[in-house]
Amino acid sequence: MRVFVTGANGFVGLNVVSALVSSGHDVVSIVRDGSNTAFLEPFGVDIVRGGLDDVRTLTDAMRGADAVVHVAGNTSCNRKDMPKLLEVNVDGTRNIVEAALATGIRRLVYTSTTSTIGAYDGGTRLADETVPLSGYRARSPYSITKRKAEEIVLAARPRGLEPVILNPAEVVGAYDYNLQWGRILLAAYYDKIPFNPPGGASFCSAADVGRAHVRAITHGRPGERYLLGGENLLFSRFFEVLSDVLGKKLTIPRGSYRWLYTKALLQEKLSPFVPGNPPIEPYRMRVLGNTYFYDSSKAEKELGYRSAPIEAMVKDCADWYRNNGFIS
């Protein structure tokens, strides 16, 4: 099978390409001019230069493909970035859909996020695909644009498209060169974790998320969403795993997380009157202060999805960083 992949040079995209190539599929990918393809090129895939705004290039590059996996996206949660979020996540997805329909491709696997699905704070209940998003997370520009993108791919079903939506949780593993959760691993390696948030999250293996995309091409039901979670852990436990896997003792500063969040919010809203830069975006700090656990039963049953244990995914990330010179 020949598969057209967007965002193939990104963290999740590289894991998708790895899974596709390992399964014997041919891959053609589109990447922006000037993008880093150093980790993509060794897979021997066809690389086309172009953007999601270039419908003609998208259409030409898709010709001959049997399926599309649309991974590319902008992950900012900053309202100042809304124009770019709309351009990439919404308009770009619309262009992908139109190009797929123009070339007669029916199956489209769309990589979304758990940021479009509600959750139960407190860690006592697991959320599934039916829980509606609400509260402050529903107001995030990232969540808004990813929900709009989901609506776009689902709305194309009457026109012949067979969309399948995957909603990965917090992805950990190899190829994280743009430093998503790998940023925290590196902070742990250098004993620079700035705080211990009280919340928790669902962590999933990047390699298994990649394999889930491959299975979704042939086994996903059109019009369905599939949560890709894994181990539901408090962040304090996640830090313990980082410490064990890296063999590093962590000295995480103590202090009021509520005060740290308030200070970060003031630094963002009242700069330059409140000096300093927040350690991370205030929105993300607020998320880290809550607990969002997810249920992957549907993906397990229908896609054969399984996520590796947290220790294994952290080790995958650490080993990849060592092999690629990020850490010694």
pLDDT 10s digits, 124-167: 899 999 999 998 889 999 999 999 999 999 999 999 999 999 99
In a domain, 157, yes or no: yes
Q: Across residues 50-68, what is the average pLDDT?
A: 94
In a domain, 129, yes or no: yes
pLDDT of residue 253: 86
Interatomic CA distance for residues 268 and 230, integer angstroms: 33
pLDDT of residue 65: 97
List of E strands, 40-181: 46-49, 67-70, 107-111, 162-168, 170-172
Read off the CATH number of the domain in which 300 is found. 3.40.50.720
Question: Are the beta carbons of 200 and 292 closer than 8 angstroms?
Answer: yes
In a domain, 273, yes or no: no
Is 71 strand, coil or helix? coil
**pLDDT grade for 259, boundaries at 50, 70 and 90:** confident
In total, the chain counts a number of residues equal to 328
In a domain, 240, yes or no: no
In a domain, 286, yes or no: no
In a domain, 253, yes or no: no
Range of the domain at 225: 2-182+201-231+292-308
Least confident of 59-63, 76-80, 168-172, 259-263: 259-263
Is 305 strand, coil or helix? coil
- Shortest CA distance to 68 belongs to which of 119, 20, 18? 20
What is the C-alpha end-to-end distance of the chain, expressed in Å?
39
Cβ contacts of residue 70 below 8 Å, gap of 6+?
A: 6, 7, 93, 96, 108, 109, 110, 111, 153
In a domain, 177, yes or no: yes
Indicate whether 169 pLDDT > 90: yes
Interatomic CA distance for residues 26 and 175, integer angstroms: 20
Is 310 strand, coil or helix? helix
The phi and psi torsions of 248 (rounded to 5 degrees) equal -120, 135
State how many domains the chain has. 1
Report the largest interatomic distance among the alpha carbons of the chain, rounded to a whole angstrom.
57
**pLDDT grade for 221, boundaries at 50, 70 and 90:** very high
List of E strands, 200-320: 200-205, 225-228, 231-234
Write down the mean pLDDT value for the chain. 93
pLDDT of residue 124: 81
pLDDT 10s digits, 19-44: 999 999 999 999 998 889 999 999 99
pLDDT 10s digits, 84-121: 999 999 999 999 999 999 999 999 999 999 999 999 97
The structure tokens listed for 308 are: 């590796």
In a domain, 245, yes or no: no
